[in-house]
Structure 1
Amino acid sequence: MSRRPPVPKRPPRPATAIELRDAIRNEALRLGFDAVGFAPASLAPEIRRERLAHLASFVEQGFHGDMGWLAERSEQRVDPATLWPEARTVVSLALNYAPGRDPRAALAAPERGAISVYAQGRDYHDVVKSKLKALGRFIWDTYRHQIKVFVDTAPVMEKPAAQASGLGWQGKHTNLVSRRFGSWLFLGELLLSAELPVDAPEADHCGQCHACLDVCPTGAFPAPYRLEARRCISYLTIEHEGPIDLDLRPLLGNRIYGCDDCLAVCPWNKFARTAHENSLWQRPDLDAPSLAELAALDDAAFRKHFAGTAIKRIGRDRFLRNVAYALGNSDAAETALIAVDRLLADPSPLVRGAAVWALSRLAPDEFRRRRATIEEVDDSVRREWAMPIAAP
């Protein structure tokens, strides 16, 4: 039987730098990105020094908390060309996820959990990366230029790159702010081997506004443009692995995954249009779910319930730690106490310890009675039982 001859590779399409830039921009928008910008891969020496100094100061003050990876590979974080010497252009891409309502409305229902808007659907890493890879394939298949794809998983400082590409500016809350999309953008980058015309960097338009600093429940901003991660609710409920400090637990309220307060209050959000419903596969059941129902999830049920979401990344124990703290901050309803009682017998010491604190908040007399007779083998949970009764 004769074999079919191999299909020859399609030769690269010749294009000027301007044509290539425009083709990349058009394809990115066709794929569903909402904004595209181009910046040089190499930084001017003064900008590089400034970024290195800012990152070093952040780490030296311990503002990165448990995120030790921020202290690593600092040279590559501030300068994309150091990460990949062949890079000539950074293509910054943004995906709008603006909600159709104020996400802070969930804070008024203490028996329910407040989940950050970005986590109420499919994991954005997967959504953005799939679009970036599709764009990369288009560039390679059509023009044969080398590319590298990044989305929050490599040492690239995405927000400075996006600002240099004209997509927005780093606001006083340290997140990117856009005149078109407010504070609601997912970011990703392509490093490209071709040198393309670049966009003008975006200027800072925060002015005298400090609404994002004032609204922070834990005072996580020691100064404008400076975030103390160890006090940030997003960091505490997602990145931090152990028990949360006693003085911060009441300030969590019912926030069980992330915090949108500083983003939601930004005045530039008035220009943001609501994201397309199908862009991130938003799930209505993740908009203010019942704390009592979440407290009943074992590991298998947790994995099934949060499959495909960013929440699954932190694991069941850390998530139920957050749920237990939220139950302790809720009204002393019977359903909350039943849920806490279940968590007191949880296999995870992290969850049991959080439930002890919740019980001391909801039912101090019951807490005293149980403390006198409790048999606990884990030292961290024993310390929780020995703590002074938490003020409601």
Structure 2
Amino acid sequence: MAQHKSIEDRIRAKAAELGFAACGFARADAAPRTGERLRQWLADGCHGSMMWMEGRADQRASPAGLWPDVRSIIALGMSYAPTVDPLALAEQGDVGRISVYAQGADYHDVVKKALKALGRWLFAEAGGELKVFVDTAPVMEKPLSEAAGLGWQGKHTNLVSRDHGSWLFLGAIYTTLELTGEGAGRDRCGSCDACQRACPTDAFPAPYRIDARRCISYWTIEHAGPIPDAIADAMGNRIYGCDDCLAVCPWNKFAQSAAANRAFRPRAELVAPPLAELLALDDATFRQVFAGSPIKRIGRNRMVRNCLIAAGNSRDRALTPSITPLLDDPDPVVRDAAAWALARIGGGAF
């Protein structure tokens, strides 16, 4: 007689069927130091202008702070392992570099759809109440995923998996069911500090600690105003996010691009977009180009600002005709970035 499968095994099988590459379980109180670490990080101002981190800190600090009835966490990961080296375009100044995670479909939509499908199945199979989360809710997915055995938070603070490297989108299901996990992931960074050494802006004041105020991803995505010269100088041709600390992780050699969800395959126009084309975007064209992409949420002005900085860093005078019209852009941040870019290239004194 075939052995009856546990609910945990059945959840894992269903999760794999829905496109998740990793699935684990933890008690709701399995990451007790999360709140303490979060509050210290916020007190130190490391969140920069991300006031949403501060505003719901009590809910973010623990699963029970968000939903008192939660008993277990189902942590899930979807692979977006790239097929090419994310650092390959570093010296190609006439194109912009977009973080790997944003070159395909919006992970919020893809992961949320799969989470909801898994949640419906779980309710039908085992009952209980549940809630699903991906990124936009006050949930600390990384320490919870570590507690559930998906991997460990590396020195770059992102989750690292023995099987999928640094390339996992994380989601979580909170449930009133009592589920049993296999234990927390073990830190396997050892003495390696490749991620810290790779950071172009020294955003890691210590291992396992990041200061968003020094991070290119923060400045290009979360920050709406002008970008300080020290950060702009280091951005190179990065126009949306930065993959450097992830890309150099030695554990990525185990990540299989074939395991990546097909929805995250890069769109051709986002792999190496010419800066000249991006600098010509108006709001309507921006929305058209980035429809279905997480990039859409930063808006045209922030993207053009980032592209102007990349253009300035390129020192490519051929980009001058694309930059000059933006000196009269309606947005003052774009105008300032255009002036900075021209001065950087040597197209005039501003």
Query: Which stretch shows the higher mean deviation, 100-109 or 30-39?
Result: 100-109
How far apart, CA to CA, are the structure 1 residues paired with 2:219 and 2:275? Answer: 18
> Residue 333 of structure 1: CA displacement?
2.8
Q: Secondary structure at the match of 2:185?
A: coil
Amino acid at match of 1:278: R
SS at match of 1:186: strand
In the alignment, which residue of structure 2 is the partner of 1:367?
348
Does 2:219 match 1:239? no
Unaligned 5+ residue runs, structure 1?
1-15, 372-392
User: What residue number does 2:58 align with?
Assistant: 75
Does residue 1:114 correspond to 2:123, yes or no?
no
1:305 matched to 2:286? The reply is: no
CA distance in 2, matches of 1:300, 1:73: 34
Alpha-carbon displacement from aligned partner over 1:167-193 (angstroms, at most 9, x marks no partner): 000000000000001111000000111
- 2:27 corresponds to which residue? 40
Q: Check whether the contact 1:111–1:331 (CA below 8 A) recurs between aligned residues.
A: no
| CA distance 1:216–1:257, shift in 2 (3 Å) | same
Contact kept? 2:19, 2:261, Cα under 8 Å? no
Structure 1 counterpart of 2:49, one-letter code: D
Q: Give the structure 2 partner of residue 159 of structure 1.
A: 142
Match of 2:244 in 1: 261
- The offset of 1:248, in angstroms, is 1.4
Contact 2:214/2:231 (8 A) holds in 1:
yes
SS in 2 for 1:23: helix
Amino acid at match of 2:166: S
Kept in 2, the 8 Å contact 1:324–1:343? The answer is: no
The structure having more radius of gyration, on CA atoms, is: 1
Following the alignment from structure 1 to structure 2, what is the Cα–Cα distance between the partners of residues 139 and 188? Answer: 15
User: Which residue in the other structure is 1:85 paired with?
Assistant: 68
Structure with larger RCO (C-alpha < 8 A, sep 6+):
2
Q: What SS class does the counterpart of residue 295 from structure 2 fall into?
A: helix
Question: In the alignment, what sits opposite 2:279?
Answer: 295
What's the TM-score, normalizing by structure 1?
0.86
Which residue of the other structure, out of 148, 155, 160, is the alignment partner of 1:177?
160
Runs of 4+ in 1 over 3 A off after TM superposition: none
SS at match of 2:172: strand
For residue 6 of structure 2, what is the aligned residue in structure 1?
Answer: 19
Q: Counterparts of 2:158 and 2:66 in 1: how far apart (Å)?
A: 23
Answer whether contact 2:8 2:180 (CA < 8 A) is retained.
yes
CA RMSD of aligned residues (A): 1.4
> What code does the residue aligned with 1:245 have?
P
Report sequence identity in percent: 54
Number of residue pairs aligned between Structure 1 and Structure 2: 346
- Structure 2 unaligned regions, length at least 5: none
Aligned residue for 2:6, secondary structure, equals: helix
The separation in 1 between residues aligned to 2:89 and 2:71, in whole angstroms, is 45
Return the alpha-carbon distance in structure 2 between the equivalents of residues 277 and 42 of structure 1: 30
Cα shift at 1:281: 4.5
Q: Counterpart of 1:107 in 2: which secondary structure?
A: coil
Secondary structure, counterpart of 1:106 in structure 2: coil
Amino acid in structure 1 at the alignment position of 2:269: D
Counterpart residue identity of residue 194, structure 1 = L
Q: Secondary structure of 1:187's partner?
A: strand
1:161 aligned partner, one-letter code: L
State the Cα distance separating 1:130 from its structure 2 match.
0.5
Aligned match for 1:128, one of 108, 111, 133: 111
Distance 1:276 1:213 in 2: 26
Deviation at 1:142, TM superposition (A): 3.0
Give the SS at the match of 2:7.
Answer: helix
Equivalent residue in structure 2 for 1:66, among 43, 46, 49:
49
Q: Tell whether the 8 Å contact from 1:75 to 1:82 is kept in structure 2 after alignment.
A: yes
Matches within 5 A, 1:187-206: 187-206=170-189
Distance 1:76 1:277, change over 3 A: closer
Greater Cα offset, 137-146 or 25-34: 137-146
Contact persistence 1:183–1:268 (CA under 8 A): yes
**Corresponding residue for residue 316 of structure 2:** 332
Q: Check whether the contact 2:315–2:344 (CA below 8 A) recurs between aligned residues.
A: no
Q: Say which SS state the counterpart of residue 24 (structure 2) adopts.
A: strand
Counterpart of 1:31? Answer: 18
Shift in alpha-carbon separation, 1:91–1:277, aligned structure 2, 3 A: closer
Conserved in 1, the CA contact under 8 Å of 2:151 and 2:159? yes
Report how far residue 77 of structure 1 moved.
1.4
